[in-house]
Each structure stands twice: as C-alpha cells, then as structure tokens.
Amino acid sequence: MEKRLNALNSQDILSEQAEFIKVMIVDDDAIVRDGIFSLLKTHPKINVCAQASSGEEACHLTPNHEPDVILMDISMPGFGGVEATKRILLSYPDIKVLALSAHCNDNAPSEILNVGASGYLTKGVNFNEMCEAIERVYQGEQYVCSAVSDKIKSNMNLGRDLIMNNLSKLETTICKEIIYGRSIAEIAKQLGMSTSEIEKIKQDLYTALDIENDIALMHLAIRNGYLDKTNQQNN
C-alpha cells in the first residue's frame, strides 16, 4: 500500500513538473535579461531554462534546452530576432516565439509575426501581462499587446483604404452593386459578363482587402465615401 502511495505521489510530482512552461530569454542587453529573469523566476508555472544574447546563440541553445516559449528581442547584433525566429521555427515548429521589443512604430511587428511568431510585446508591458502572454501563446493562442495591435489595425485600414481608392472602373462598379444588394447574377447581366467572371473579380478583391463578406465591404465603402459618391451620381 505504501509503495503504491509513493508511486502515486511520484506521478503527481512528475505531472506538476510537466506543467512548467520552459522559457528562453533572448536579448543582447544583459540588464534586460537579468531583469526579466528575476521577475519570471517568481512565477510558479514558469521556468527560465536558458538565456541568449543574440539570435545565433538562441539557435545554438534551442536544441539543448528545448524551450516551450522563447522571449525574442528583435534588434540584436548578428542576424537578429526575425531571422532567428525563422530558423528556429523551421526546425522546431512547436516552439512558441513571443517577440519582445522596444519598438512598435516600424515594420518589426509585421515582420516577425509573418515568419511565425505567436505574439508581440513591447518592453513597456507590466509583469502580469508578460506572464499572461507567455501562458496564452504556450496554450496555442496568439497574443499581441494593445499598443501593437492598434498599430497593426491602423496599417491594415490604411492599406485597405489605398486599395479602395485605386480600384478600376469595373471593380468600382461591382463593389457598388454588391453594396446595394445586387446578386452576382444581376451584376453579370447588367455588365454583360458571366457570373464566374464577376465572382472571380469579387473574390480577388476580397482577398486583396483581407475581408470575408459583403458587410465588411460595406464598412469600407462607408469609410471611403462610396455611398455618398454613388448617391451624387444617381441624383
């Protein structure tokens, strides 16, 4: 009976150990690394398994320490955080990379998220948000702090607006007809085209705008004054 209890206790200990999130800190600033380490070591479910001062060192240490989450600085000597993320995820796709940078006003967030990072934090976030981000990306979610997500949304809207304001005459006509509830068949008949041609133009446009439905198109149209333009043309 005692042996069985000891075995069960051992299993519980192993189970608790398995719940630790192994984190690697990658930053060229030793003071930043030490500061983050000092904070994270107080978290009951996070274990800092390694620290690296460059992208190259992170790539070298990853196979030996097998981190679950890598806190990755972006601007470092050598090939930096974006290239390090790309190389690590190519060999270890299950690792979660959480970018940590002082910058959010350049292309850095988009660059590192595009190569597979699971999230992005600025170095101004508080300890609780950093821990929450680590736990969420570990669980397979994405996490982007509000300062960065607002910037990404703003850039996406600017890109969409630019596309909307540079549509061809045909694309503009199709957009307006969709906005006013015309079916693909009705638009095709009006323009003397096949339904497959209209559908392809519509889908290509939605892909370029990164939208999924007619409601999203309506919102873009309102923001870009399409309804006003149409009403003026009809009067």
Stated pTM of the model: 0.60
By DSSP bridging, strand 21-26 and strand 69-72 are: parallel
Rounded Cα gap, residues 80 and 181, in angstroms = 50
Domain ranges, residue 193: 167-234
42 within some domain: yes
The total of other beta-carbon atoms located within 10 Å of residue 223's CB is 12
End-to-end Cα distance, the chain = 90
Q: What is the CA radius of gyration of the chain?
A: 25
- 26 and 118 fall within a common domain: yes
Same domain for 20 and 101, yes or no, is yes
The pLDDT, as a whole number, for residue 180 is: 72
Domain total in the chain: 2
Q: What pLDDT was estimated at residue 157?
A: 52
d(CA 9, CA 39): 30
Q: Identify the domain boundary among 119, 153, 187.
A: 153
Do 8 and 67 lie in a common domain? Answer: yes
Provide the pLDDT for residue 168: 83
Question: 100 and 56 in one domain?
Answer: yes
Q: What CATH number does the domain containing 222 carry? A: 1.10.10.10
User: Do both 38 and 139 map to the same domain?
Assistant: yes
- DSSP-derived secondary structure letter, 213: S
If asked whether residues 145 and 184 sit together in one domain, one would say no
Question: Does one domain contain both 144 and 172?
Answer: no
The CATH number for 10's domain is: 3.40.50.2300
Instruction: Outline where the chain has alpha helix (H).
Output: 2-18, 30-40, 55-65, 80-91, 108-114, 127-138, 146-164, 169-179, 184-191, 195-209, 214-223, 226-234
Q: Taking the CA of residue 133 as centre, how many other CA atoms within 13 Å lie in the half-sphere pointing to its CB?
A: 26
- The reply to whether 158 falls in a domain is no
Verify that 23 and 133 share a domain, yes or no.
Answer: yes
Q: Do the domain assignments include residue 161?
A: no
Task: Verify that 147 and 86 share a domain, yes or no.
Answer: yes
Q: What does the angle CA 59 – CA 65 – CA 69 come to, to the nearest 5 degrees?
A: 75
Shared domain check, 119 and 193: no
pLDDT of residue 163: 63
- Last residue of one domain, picked from the residues 153, 188, 217: 153
**Residue 159 forms part of a structural domain:** no
Each residue's pLDDT, cut to its tens digit, for the chain (235 residues) gives: 444 444 444 444 444 445 799 999 999 999 999 999 999 999 999 999 999 999 999 999 999 999 999 999 998 988 899 999 999 999 999 999 999 888 665 677 778 887 888 888 988 888 999 999 999 999 988 888 866 665 555 554 555 555 666 778 888 888 888 877 788 999 999 999 999 999 999 888 888 777 777 777 776 776 666 554 444 444 4
The reply to whether 19 and 115 lie within a common domain is yes
Task: Answer whether residue 160 is part of any domain.
Answer: no
Residues 143 and 188 in one domain: no
